Chains A and B, each alone.
Chain A
Amino acid sequence: MSVLTFKGGVHPYSGKEYTKNKAIDEYFPENGLFVIPLSQHIGSPATPIVKVGDRVLVNQKIGEASGFISANVHSSVSGIVKAIDNRKVANGNKVPCIIIENDGLYEKTNSMDNENYLEFSKEEKLELIKEAGIVGMGGAGFPTHVKLSPPKPENIDYIIVNGAECEPYLTSDYRRMLENPEIIVEGLKIVLSLFDNAKGIIAVEDNKLDAIVRLRKCVSKENNIEVKTLFTKYPQGGERSLIYATTKRCLDSSKLPADIGCIVHNIDTIYAIYNAVVKNLPLTTRVVTITGDAVRYPGNYIVPVGADIKQFIDDTGEFKDKAEKIISGGPMMGMALHDLNIPVTKGTSAILMFKKDEVSACKPSNCINCGRCVNACPSRIIPSRLAKAADKNNEDEFLKLNGLECIECGSCSYICPAKRQLTQSIKTMKKNILSNKRK
């Protein structure tokens, strides 16, 4: 079996051994406030459909999607709505949130399994997925039902399940694949049933061979699903790298995956799709890896959306040492948190706690033109030149060097021996150019 890959990339220290062997545990706090953001997705925030003082139950819809690109929001807890207010989330912005006082009962709404889900029409399945408020759970949060409704569904050739988990330290997808491979396969079959011509691919990096073995066992009777082995390299799980490695199709910033016949889903998203269609359950929890050298008990937890990160840390992993840096997500693309009183959202894949901040420990010096960033860049652009153009705010040069092709993967900053903040400069410039364009 060949091992698939892409050109470029880096090999950061994996750090997965902290939590790789920790079975997924559940974390349902008994009290405290839940802050459930109405905007956990790209697109317009959901509109609240409960009032302050209402009692809500687990799985009850509390926010209604407010446009084509938007997603429903459900309660992950039972209790009284205390406030509807703007609160800070991981990226530092304040967004509208519904604040619920947890009564610790986790009383659920009545719902029944859809035993006959196999007979549902495509539209019915899509409606269930839409109703469940599922969004891409890798972090970007694109509403899944929109992704699953491309203009020409018959042109979709591949549904790719992203089990690469190329970010160091993260093990939530790995544990899911290991513990519930049959659900991943069933979820993928549901997605495949929406498209007449699509084949399924589950792509996993070769540092997770046991997961590959289990998945292969589950797909042995499926003739249009294949488990493919990827070379372990960052950013193997990036959408473009993943599509290229598995199908040899190339994607750049001018296109969406659907334009080249591919749709990519996260492991946890597929899991949520299964729950929505088979169990009639909305997306209210996700698996979060809590790890890093400042954590006493690293682990993988099912965490309700809206739970407070500070409380989550205190109740599960605990501080072993004072952490200098805490990150939501992986070390390569995650966000550094400056405030821990923020909620877990649908896109929170991990909480990483580091005793030492590697970034502040090294001081950027002059670029020595070594070319390491060029070799590492999966977009095959020249990060050193782009960062220079960005620092000078030279938009023409930036565009001429194809700066907008950057996927912000962080490989260039990671590899740079002069410790230059290349990704940061390029990202900022990109943001400016794109927002000016929109105006």
Chain B
Amino acid sequence: MIWLFVLLWPLLGIKPEGLEVATTFSVWWRIAIGCASILVIYQLNSVGAFNFITKPVGEAVGGAKKATSTLPFAVWAFAILAFAVAYPHLFGRYAQDVAINCMIYICLGLGLNVVVGLAGMLDLGYIAFYGLGAYTYALLSVHYKLAFWICLPISAGVAGLGACIIGYCSMRMRGDYLAIVTLGFAEIVRMVLNNWMSLTNGPNGITGIKAPGMYWPDFANGMTLEHLWLKKLSLIYYVILALVIFTIIAVYRLNHSRIGRAWEAIREDETAAEVMGIPTFYMKLLGYCTGACFGGMAGAFYAARMRFVSPESFTFLESAMVLSMVVLGGMGSIPGVILGALALIALPEIFRDFELYRMLVFGGVMTLMMLFRPQGLLPPKRRMKAEKD
């Protein structure tokens, strides 16, 4: 711990102009005090000094939980949905922008959750499928003028096909090896996007992508259908909202089906799963492809929303980000992944002033999570049960 602080001081001072140790002192001591107090609290807590606070608080939380759990799930879902629908009318452009960003990551997180949380395969290259989806729509839109809604399933398909090819080669590997292969694959995809000038225009990216269009009944001209480009932020917000809802429902239903159970069985014990009649190779490939399809859809939306794609958006950092959401939120849990995405995308926006230290705090939070709550913020229901016993 002390070493960390000794190192931290000069590290914080590294600026393009050179080392500026003195000015960083103010930040340094804040972090130091913060960490020290957390450490003290942790020590006291483990001794049991806070029992007089934690007990009543725990009881209060338990009571609140009981009160909320008596409300049926439908009420909750409806309230959240109502809020989500009203959101663009309540908040300004900036907040809408953040929300859209957030929802793209929710889609990605849920897709990756199928691969990592359900099927238990560590995938460090998930962002490649996001990129494949984005470029598929970009190219189809620019060269063939195909509509977004047609391209959405095509993008999902292309991403899924990509996953099939990679998966077929790498599914025989387990654990860490698989992680490294997928990581390598993601880099290959990025390199291809970067260097295939004639197709992807290299690092300059592709511009002139069409926004999603829609037919809208036009009452002024009698009952004709008018074609509308969904360029306005509040309109595009609803597109991603629909996509998120579709993804949530799809992942939930998959999870509670024969397919989802097979994935979970493979995650728990691959040999036992195979002996109990699950073709593990095929099911893992299927899980990998299904996850990639969701990523591809999110990618197509991303291209339609930015109306510009370039390889820069699909770096390893993004993969790591999505993976962190899944881990932070709780692997295999849909609300957990949503919460993880909100935490990792929305919170940094709120604390924009501390942007410089974002990665630092991010690392710190992840470390704390691993120490205190390795199962994630909102682990899947039944696992919580298991831990209580």
Q: Do A and B interact?
A: no
* B contact residues vs A (CB 8 Å cutoff): none
